[in-house]
């Protein structure tokens, strides 16, 4: 269950080099006699985005941004409320301590 799953190895054939002509004279302009080998075909599936799936992807990304923003704002609000309550508590305690020292 926790073992990694690796994709299969590419099965492209090894590139081969065409033998150089040794007995024929070299012409002034060389014309290629063979076409380039075809590009290796990958066994990995390609992802094609249709307009509908692109729209869904953009909407999903927007929703993630909104949710993360709401979480961050709520955390900032919680920190601000905690700071205000600690400040009010400090002022009340200071007032009580000074009142006790005066003996009232």
Q: What is the pLDDT of residues 22-38, one digit of tens each?
A: 666 655 666 566 666 77
Domain count within the chain: 1
Please state, in angstroms and rounded to a whole number, the distance separating the CA atoms of residues 90 and 88.
Answer: 5
Q: Is residue 97 part of a domain?
A: yes
Q: Please tell me the distance from the alpha carbon of residue 78 to that of residue 68, in angstroms, as a whole number.
A: 15
Tell me if 32 is assigned to some domain.
Answer: no
Q: Is 100 within a domain?
A: yes
Q: Is residue 26 part of a domain?
A: no
**pTM reported for the whole predicted model:** 0.45
In a domain? residue 93 = yes
Residue 49 lies in a domain: no
Evaluate whether residue 52 is within a structural domain.
no
Domain that holds residue 85: 72-104
Please name the residues in contact with 87: beta carbons below 8 A apart, sequence gap of 6 or more: none
Q: What is the dihedral of CA 18, 19, 23, 25, to 10 degrees?
A: 40
Please check whether residue 89 lies inside any domain of the structure.
Answer: yes
Per-residue pLDDT tens for 78-101?
999 999 999 999 999 999 999 999
């Amino acid at each position: 269950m926790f073992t990694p799953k690796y994709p299969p190895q590419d099965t492209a054939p090894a590139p081969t080099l065409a033998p150089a002509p040794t007995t024929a004279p070299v012409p002034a302009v060389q014309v290629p006699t063979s076409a380039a080998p075809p590009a290796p075909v990958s066994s990995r599936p390609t992802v094609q985005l249709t307009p509908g799936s692109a729209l869904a992807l953009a909407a999903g990304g927007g929703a993630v941004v909104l949710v993360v923003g709401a979480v961050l704002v709520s955390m900032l609000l919680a920190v601000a409320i905690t700071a205000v309550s600690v400040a009010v508590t400090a002022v009340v305690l200071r007032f009580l301590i000074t009142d006790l020292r005066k003996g009232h």
